[in-house]
Amino acid sequence: MNDSVTPNPWAQWRAATPARLALGRAGAGMPTDETLRFGWAHAMARDAIHAALDVDALAATLTAQHWQVARARSQAADRTTYLRRPDLGRKLDEHDATRLLADRRYGCDVCVVIGDGLSSLAVARHAAPLLAAVRAHLPADTSFAPVVIATQARVALADEVGELFGAALSVMLIGERPGLSSPDSLGIYLTHSPKRGRHDAERNCISNVRPEGLPYEAASFKLAWLMRESLRRGLTGVALKDESNLAVLGQPGAAELGRLSGLLK
């Protein structure tokens, strides 16, 4: 090691996390290798935001998993518009809205929308494995609308898609804003009775789905629990607390405890 570089005594913690810590210093600045790593991480984050999603490849993978697939785009015509006009990313292209309405499946339980969001890399890597994993945790009679792959999409786009299909619950899988150590983080948003105008307090969110964050099996268990409870109780958002950890332990959640308490009175 160069004698001018002062190592950080916490360097051993770097083996436990991809976070940027214990960087050391060279005089008043960072060592050259850390400066280069920062530049590489920043470039990866920028690429994740601007890279286009390979819709054909994702559709082929989902079809091989026996999902019905549809495609749509938002009213943001290109990536620049998408980044500058978030409102347009929340609205379906009018032509696609008409086409999806013609293929509506009224009465279905779940409408899954896969949106490129701010990281198409996250969607390309993690959406299909997650959907494959979640099926094992859901009742066999759960009915699905076609999985909609949406480009230039924001979270609220799933509200309009779910409304068009008449779904009881919409599930949006979307690429999250890249971080310097996580350019491929997938987010999940659930909204009961989806329709245009829903707000964030009416959603449940699962974030950082990726092998280095929340692995597929853990994420799929949590997602399936929320889906089942949402359909059973008829709600999502602040009224639906994630108690999937209690299900793992075989303990009753708050709602079940409340029901039992009422029976004992």
Domains and CATH numbers, the chain: 57-238 (3.40.50.11240)
Judged on CB neighbours under 10 Å (0-12, 13-18, 19+), 91 is middle
List, for residues 99-145, the tens digit of each pLDDT value: 988 877 667 999 999 999 999 999 999 999 999 999 989 999 999 99
User: Residue with structure tokens 């792959």?
Assistant: 149
Q: What is the mean pLDDT of the chain?
A: 87
List, for residues 210-247, the tens digit of each pLDDT value: 998 999 999 999 999 999 999 999 999 999 999 888 76
Give the side-chain half-sphere CA count within 13 A for 55: 17
Residue 260: pLDDT band by 50, 70, 90 thresholds? very low
| Enclosing H/E stretch for 198 | none
Output the pLDDT for position 261. Answer: 46
List, for residues 151-203, the tens digit of each pLDDT value: 999 999 999 999 999 999 999 999 999 877 788 999 999 999 999 999 999 99
Statement: residue 51 has pLDDT above 70: yes
Quote the pTM value.
Answer: 0.83
Statement: residue 250 has pLDDT above 70: no
